[in-house]
């Protein structure tokens, strides 16, 4: 299931000011939906938007050492 983010969480993820998130979503540069009086964003869509190939990064594999 996809994680849903608030504008503040998107701002933190992208390391931008929250006002910039609102400006970008109104311009159509960031995919988002107005819901319940606020904007909501798909983490997968945001990561796909900023990744070089337009795809979300693959989940990290944790390496464990066997002893």
Q: How far apart are CA 24 and CA 14, in angstroms?
A: 12
- Structurally, the chain folds into a number of domains equal to 1
Question: What pLDDT is stored for residue 16 in this prediction?
Answer: 95
Work out the pLDDT band at 26, boundaries 50, 70, 90.
very high
> Is residue 44 assigned to a domain?
yes
For the chain, give the percent of residues with pLDDT over 70: 79
> Is residue 56 assigned to a domain?
no
Q: How far apart are CA 39 and CA 20, in angstroms?
A: 13
> Is residue 64 assigned to a domain?
no
The dihedrals phi and psi of 54, each to the nearest 5 degrees, come to 75, 15
> Is residue 67 assigned to a domain?
no
Task: Read off the DSSP letter of residue 63.
Answer: P
Question: What pLDDT is stored for residue 55 in this prediction?
Answer: 57
Q: How far apart are CA 21 and CA 10, in angstroms?
A: 7
> Is residue 14 assigned to a domain?
yes
Question: What pLDDT is stored for residue 64 in this prediction?
Answer: 54
Boundaries of domain holding 14 = 4-50
Mean pLDDT of the chain: 84
Q: How far apart are CA 54 and CA 61, in angstroms?
A: 21
Question: What pLDDT is stored for residue 67 in this prediction?
Answer: 45
């Amino acid at each position: 299931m996809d994680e849903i983010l608030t504008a503040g969480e998107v701002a933190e993820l992208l390391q931008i000011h929250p006002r910039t998130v609102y400006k970008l979503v109104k311009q159509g540069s960031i995919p988002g939906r107005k819901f319940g009086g606020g904007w909501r964003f798909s983490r997968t869509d945001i990561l796909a938007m900023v990744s070089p190939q337009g795809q979300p990064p693959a989940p990290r594999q944790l390496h464990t050492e066997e002893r």
